[in-house]
Amino acid sequence: MARAADLARANAARIDMVELRADFLDGGELPHLRRFPDMIGTPPILTIRRAAEGGRFRGGEPARRRLIAAAAGGYRYVDLESDVDRSFDEAVPAGVRVIRSLHDTGGVPQPLGRIVRELPRSPAEIAKAAVTPRIGREMVDVIEAARGLGAAGAGRERIVLGMGRFGVPTRILAAHLGNYLTFCSLAARSAAPGHLDPDAMVDLYRFRSIHAGTRVLGVVGTPLSHSRSPQLHNPALAAAAIDAVYVPIELDDLAELDRLARLLPLDGCSVTIPHKSRAARMSDAGETVRRVGACNTLVRTPNGWRGENTDVRGFLAPLRRMVPAPRRAAVVGAGGAARAVAFALRSLGTELLILNRTAERARALALEHGAMAARLDASGLARVPAYSELIVQTTSMGLPDNPGDPLAAYAFRGHEVVYDLVYGEGLTPILQRAREAGCAVIDGRQMLAEQAYEQFRLFTGREFPESARTPPAAPPAATA
């Protein structure tokens, strides 16, 4: 309890309330729960969660009820599950509000709206449903149910949220869902799946200034765990004083985006794996999208979605600072990102060799762009030296979930400029090897930033603020 109180005080600037999950405490502390409210400066919620709802309390219901009866008087709220018997309600003194909760760790029960409406046993209770969307459609179901409950207010207070990675928008957009509060916990000590850190919630997403009319932007795709787009767009929205928030929206089926746009003031989205081709087909596509066959930006218009591709300019901007007009280049990979790269390089007149694990895909892309194609094997690699002025790595290899270096069998000689689209915290294995061999390298984070600058312009009609820009990498040192 002392550690919990220290954490609460250390985070006091970012939180308005503390929930004591007493089921996480050592059993010896349970008789002293009443002391906790005096140890912190914020009004606490007392929760003793049973194992059946994902908690750790295994002491049985009579013991739980006794603990609540002994401690509840010192708390502002007590969380009680929807199925506990009346004796629990009687254990809570007048003046302490009950959060009447339902937890589903396996899915989203239906009809969720009606279930939430029927949770409170009196108008003074706050309904809480924490459910688990397993796919994007279920996340949109949660938002639809919450929105269907109408404006929140006295006697209709509720918390409707999705746990896990699909539920993240329901936590950040609490105001849009009419939620009474949202939960977060420290990244290093996460208390529930999908919790955001208070720093991320308040400093990155500006949770305190989000209201039901705040415009929503986001990145759609799956998986999104390594997307850095929120870290780029939210500080820019803040610096430009735009009343909008940019959230990760994990969707496995892009068709759900239309339903989401009917429920939220959604103005635009970045589109990532695996939806770029589908987005090109479902939108009123700009010329670059039509020619590249991939869309990474959807902007909402009165007639639906307009599709744009900012990867092309995003790719070219850091390249121009290093090699303004490469004569020959090798492109490794033939997926969606390679399509934008091939289009961009051909627009500079660069002759291309496209190498891919699946040779047919390399051949098909090469055919579209008048390029050469090869399989990513020893015979293909033997052709790279003739195209080695610039080597662009566009496969998804190089991240922890797909580790490695697709050109491991190619020895860099030092004159190559090596550009890796994949980005992580530091240099990817291929860029580390290239740098050790004396090559100039371009890191995927630069392209990510540049394509985001253009997206920002498309989303907001404003320039990406200078103060929120990532400084471009220094040009390579001259080599003898």
End-to-end CA distance of the chain: 63
> Six-digit token pair at 444?
């995927």
Minimum CB separation of residue 384 from ligand NAP in Å reads: 15
Using CB under 6 A, list all residues that contact ligand NAP: 273, 276, 311, 314, 333-338, 356-358, 361, 394-397, 402, 406, 421-423, 444, 447-448, 451
Whole-angstrom Cα distance, residue 461 to residue 264? 20
Residue 276 is a catalytic residue = yes
Decide: residue 435, CB within 10 A, 0-12 exposed, 13-18 middle, 19+ buried.
middle
Give me the residues paired with residue 249 across strands. 220
Minimum CB separation of residue 355 from ligand NAP in Å reads: 9
Q: Under the phi-then-psi rule, with left for phi > 0, alpha for psi from -120 to 50, and beta for the rest, what region is 479?
A: beta
Q: Are strands 284-285 and 244-250 parallel, antiparallel or unpaired?
A: unpaired
Nearer to ligand NAP, 37 or 333 (CB): 333
Minimum CB separation of residue 380 from ligand NAP in Å reads: 12
Nearer to ligand NAP, 268 or 406 (CB): 406
Nearer to ligand NAP, 173 or 452 (CB): 452
Options 215, 276, 369, 433, the catalytic residue? 276
CB 79 within 8 A of CB 54: no
Nearer to ligand NAP, 278 or 361 (CB): 361
CB 73 within 8 A of CB 93: yes
Minimum CB separation of residue 375 from ligand NAP in Å reads: 9
- Nearest-CB residue to ligand NAP? 335
CB 352 within 8 A of CB 345: yes
Nearer to ligand NAP, 20 or 334 (CB): 334
Minimum CB separation of residue 436 from ligand NAP in Å reads: 22
Decide: residue 198, CB within 10 A, 0-12 exposed, 13-18 middle, 19+ buried.
buried
Give me the residues paired with residue 250 across strands. 221
DSSP string, 101-137: EEE-SS---SSHHHHHHT--SSTTSEEEEEE--SSHH
Minimum CB separation of residue 15 from ligand NAP in Å reads: 34
Minimum CB separation of residue 269 from ligand NAP in Å reads: 15
Nearer to ligand NAP, 357 or 469 (CB): 357
Nearer to ligand NAP, 396 or 470 (CB): 396
C-alpha distances in angstroms, 259 versus 24, 141, 144?
39, 9, 9
Please report where in the chains the tokens 């803040």 appear, as a residue: 238
Whole-angstrom Cα distance, residue 229 to residue 218? 8
Task: Give the count of alpha carbons within 13 A of 109, CB side only.
Answer: 12
Whole-angstrom Cα distance, residue 366 to residue 381? 16
Known catalytic residues are 276
